[in-house]
Amino acid sequence: MALFASRITPVMQSSVALYLVVAFSVAVVYFVRYFCAGAVARSRSTAVRGAKAGSKGSLSLEPYVYPVPEAYPDWSIETTKPLPYRAFRYGPKYHVTMGLRTVSPEAWIELDNDFPKFHAKKADRLANRLEKHVYTDPIAWDAAIELLDELVRYLPQRYPTLYRRMPVGIDNLWSGESFNVVQRPLAEDPMAICARLVQDDLALMVEGEDGRYYLRAGSILLAGFWRLQDKLGMPLEDIHTTGEVPQYREKLHRGMANFFTRLRCGQTYCRNNYFIQVDDDLAWSESIGCEDGDLVSWSTAEKDRAVEHHWFRSERQSLRRLPKSKAVAFTIRTYFHPVTELAQEDYVPGRLASAVRSWGDDVAKYKGREKYGRVLCEYLDREHQKQLDQGLDMSKEDEVRAYPF
């Protein structure tokens, strides 16, 4: 070993040293590049997963921007009728499901020639009962502002004959109202302004530290059967269980909780439901009790009222995640028609009678069937038979309608 070392000249020693330095430097460069590239990739992956899930705590890329909607074809405040949602199916069995379906983002809000009626009803309740129907928790203030901004951006594009975008906000061309959405403080609660712009009731669900979603803001003016004050601050599951929604724990809770967690920006979902109401008040069904009373229940309703008092109440609900706050915006659009009007449509009386009879005991109790079921079904059966006598071809029903219409 010593003999071999004695043969290494100074020049050779310098060359070896230089080689080792270069090799070490190259190794360091490659290590740094690999480590940094991996870190960036992991960061991007985390950010993308967070953006998809709507997580508040993840790294974030630029917030998603919903596409500018096309104008609703030939929309008119005089002639555009409410869409004919008839979200009931033939029996013999009624299935309790979430019933969610995807829709295009441009179909987020639906307006029609009932807008003046809804607008007037909302304006009256905002003037006289504001504190009972509108609230924004400070936790949800930024989300409420974001919802308002989204509506201001969306509505003039979707309904240009009704709304005009202005430098400081939005003008209603029909009512003459102007809404300044950039001034601070705002003229009123942002959820109240949102309520004046659309026919829907609106709610904001905000994720808590425990990962559950809580009702933190709302403008609930036309709900018919439930009150904002009873649900504010509740997590999603308590909102439904305190309302005694049939089979919520068994069939809906897990799926709904997962849906809220996984809902991504850019997705818009809708669902429909239906009820029978035995009075004609769009805002609150007095038949189940006084709106400001302690007892709200079908037990207070008059039994077997004439069918002229029966109204079909259907909701078209939408859900989408707001890109900045990550809150879930929940809209509830009510469609409200006399049953006697509905029964004149082909196929409807037979299908509705079958649907009402298909409810299990829990669903029947929830929907109050004991109070109106006999009168309603007898009437629908007669109207269905009239249609058959006039030659209605039952085999063609699927050719002229598709759920939820």
Q: Region 306-331: what's the mean pLDDT?
A: 98
Domain residues for 131?
101-400
**DSSP string of 174-220, one letter each residue:** TT--EEE-SSSS-SS-HHHHHHHHSSSEEEEEEE-TTS-EEEEEEE-
Residue 114 pLDDT exceeds 60: yes
Asked if residue 362 is part of any domain, the answer here is: yes
Asked if residue 49 is part of any domain, the answer here is: no
In whole angstroms, how large is the CA radius of gyration of the chain? 30
| Alpha-carbon distances, residue 395 vs 23, 89, 91, 292 (angstroms) | 82, 15, 17, 48
Query: Which tokens go with 254?
Result: 């897990």
Report the amino acid identity of residue 376. L
Q: Region 178-206: what's the mean pLDDT?
A: 98
Q: Which residues neighbour 219 within 8 Å (Cβ) at sequence distance 6 or greater?
A: 133, 134, 189, 191, 192, 194, 195, 201, 202, 203
Strands 169-172 and 163-166: antiparallel
pLDDT value, residue 63: 84
Mean pLDDT taken over the chain: 88
Higher pLDDT, 249 or 308: 308
pLDDT value, residue 39: 41
Residue 44 pLDDT exceeds 60: no
| Alpha-carbon distances, residue 157 vs 51, 71, 76, 170 (angstroms) | 26, 6, 14, 11
Identify the band that residue 24 occupies on the pLDDT scale cut at 50, 70 and 90.
low
Asked if residue 142 is part of any domain, the answer here is: yes
pLDDT value, residue 361: 96
Query: Which tokens go with 299?
Result: 């037990």
Asked if residue 44 is part of any domain, the answer here is: no
Residue 54 pLDDT exceeds 90: no
| Alpha-carbon distances, residue 132 vs 47, 260, 280, 294, 329 (angstroms) | 40, 27, 21, 14, 20
Number of folded domains that form the chain: 1
pLDDT value, residue 62: 75
Identify the band that residue 20 occupies on the pLDDT scale cut at 50, 70 and 90.
very low
In angstroms, rounded to a whole number, what is the distance separating the alpha carbons of residues 84 and 101? 17
**DSSP string of 99-132, one letter each residue:** --EEE-GGGS----TTHHHHHHHHHHHHHHHHHH
Q: Region 400-404: what's the mean pLDDT?
A: 90
pLDDT value, residue 93: 87
In angstroms, rounded to a whole number, what is the distance separating the alpha carbons of residues 213 and 285? 28
Identify the band that residue 12 occupies on the pLDDT scale cut at 50, 70 and 90.
very low
Residue 203 pLDDT exceeds 60: yes
Residue 52 pLDDT exceeds 60: no
Identify the band that residue 22 occupies on the pLDDT scale cut at 50, 70 and 90.
very low
Asked if residue 48 is part of any domain, the answer here is: no
pLDDT value, residue 316: 98
Asked if residue 210 is part of any domain, the answer here is: yes
Q: Region 338-367: what's the mean pLDDT?
A: 97
pLDDT digits (tens, 9 = 90+) for 232-267: 999 999 999 998 899 988 888 899 999 999 999 999
Residue 371 pLDDT exceeds 90: yes
Identify the band that residue 61 occupies on the pLDDT scale cut at 50, 70 and 90.
low
Residue among 71, 95, 96, 37 at smallest CA distance from 161: 71
The residue behind tokens 């949602």 is 85
Asked if residue 46 is part of any domain, the answer here is: no
CA dihedral for 337, 343, 348, 350, sign (positive or negative): positive
Report the amino acid identity of residue 154. Y
